[in-house]
Amino acid sequence: MGAGAWFDLGDDERDALARAGRTSHLGPGAPIFTEGDPAYEVGFVLEGAVKIARTALDGREVVLAVRHAGDVLGELSALDGRPRSATATALEPTEMLLLAIPRFLELLDEHPGIARSLLVDLAGRLRASGDQALEFGVADAMTRVCRRIIDLMQDHGRSDAAGIVIEVPVSQQELADRSGLSREAVVKALRSLRSLGWISGSGRTIVVEDEGALRRRSL
């Protein structure tokens, strides 16, 4: 149920999930679950943002995705009974609805709409993974960075007199991991985008000054 699909469920379905679960408030950096651990709960992000990451063979953390309000976490382990395939960490103050896996599975049987939404979400993520694999095979560094900035803009951007301001919840290394690039390649691309006047800002703040140019370069 990604991209806010929680809010697209019917009232009865949301109420059933809420009654069956418990809410948890997490601060930035708080762990939700860890790669390799047994799975006991499924979680819905009600507010905030959650980083999904795995550990590479060389020990580096590789960011797979950032989940937002409405997204579901941990459904794969609930369905196949295997340990957690990734680590989930709160990026900012986050509110979660957590459900014990046995009760969650019962709700899938009791409310077909929940099960359908879960299948649609899984299909969407599978398609996105295929698109990302293609992107990593053919897109240059500048294109990939432009696409990640657009993703961040859509999730975190707010309009301002200077443009669209993004308080980026990930580091340059995490942005590189999500783009399939080295940190150096990301730094170089960001420097080029600033020189072109398409973006400005410093640290973890990016101001998109020419959204049209950024989108055209991302194609």
pLDDT at 212: 92
47 shares its domain with 149: no
Answer yes or no: are the C-beta atoms of 165 and 207 closer than 8 Å.
yes
20 shares its domain with 45: yes
Domain boundary among 78, 107, 135: 135
Mean pLDDT confidence for 60-75: 86
95 shares its domain with 180: no
Distance from C-alpha of 145 to C-alpha of 168, rounded to nearest angstrom: 13
107 shares its domain with 166: no
103 shares its domain with 56: yes
CATH number of the domain to which 211 belongs:
1.10.10.10
How sure is the predictor about 33, in pLDDT bands with cuts at 50, 70 and 90? Answer: very high
* Average pLDDT score over the chain: 87
Eight-class DSSP state of 6:
G
pLDDT at 136: 57
Which carries the bigger pLDDT value, residue 201 or residue 12?
Answer: 12
174 shares its domain with 192: yes
Answer yes or no: are the C-beta atoms of 144 and 101 closer than 8 Å.
no
pLDDT at 59: 80
pLDDT at 110: 95
Domain boundary among 135, 156, 188: 135
Distance from C-alpha of 89 to C-alpha of 66, rounded to nearest angstrom: 9
Which carries the bigger pLDDT value, residue 111 or residue 139?
Answer: 111
107 shares its domain with 211: no
Distance from C-alpha of 91 to C-alpha of 147, rounded to nearest angstrom: 21
Q: Give tens-digit pLDDT for 171-191.
A: 888 788 778 788 889 899 999
pLDDT at 81: 93
Per-range mean pLDDT, top range of 24-28, 56-60, 152-156: 24-28
How would you classify the pairing of strands 61-68 and 163-167? unpaired
CA distances from 42 to 9, 83, 107 (A): 17, 13, 12
Closest CA to 77 of 110, 104, 107: 104
Domain boundary among 135, 164, 185: 135
158 shares its domain with 129: no
Query: Does the pLDDT value for residue 6 go beyond 90?
Result: no
pLDDT at 1: 44
Residues 6+ apart with CB under 8 A from 185: 141, 176
Residues composing the chain: 219
152 shares its domain with 86: no
Neighbouring C-alpha atoms within 13 Å toward the C-beta of 162 = 12
Mean pLDDT confidence for 24-37: 95
Q: What is the number of structural domains in the chain?
A: 2
148 shares its domain with 47: no
CATH number of the domain to which 60 belongs:
2.60.120.10
83 shares its domain with 157: no
Range of the domain at 197: 140-217
45 shares its domain with 103: yes
Query: Does the pLDDT value for residue 73 go beyond 80?
Result: yes
In the chain, what percentage of residues exceed pLDDT 70? 92
How sure is the predictor about 2, in pLDDT bands with cuts at 50, 70 and 90? Answer: very low
Q: Give tens-digit pLDDT for 127-182.
A: 766 656 555 555 788 888 998 899 888 878 888 888 899 887 778 887 887 787 88
pLDDT at 135: 53
The maximal CA–CA distance of the chain, rounded, in angstroms, is 56
Distance from C-alpha of 165 to C-alpha of 157, rounded to nearest angstrom: 5
How sure is the predictor about 98, in pLDDT bands with cuts at 50, 70 and 90? Answer: very high
3-state SS, residue 52 = strand
Query: Does the pLDDT value for residue 43 go beyond 50?
Result: yes
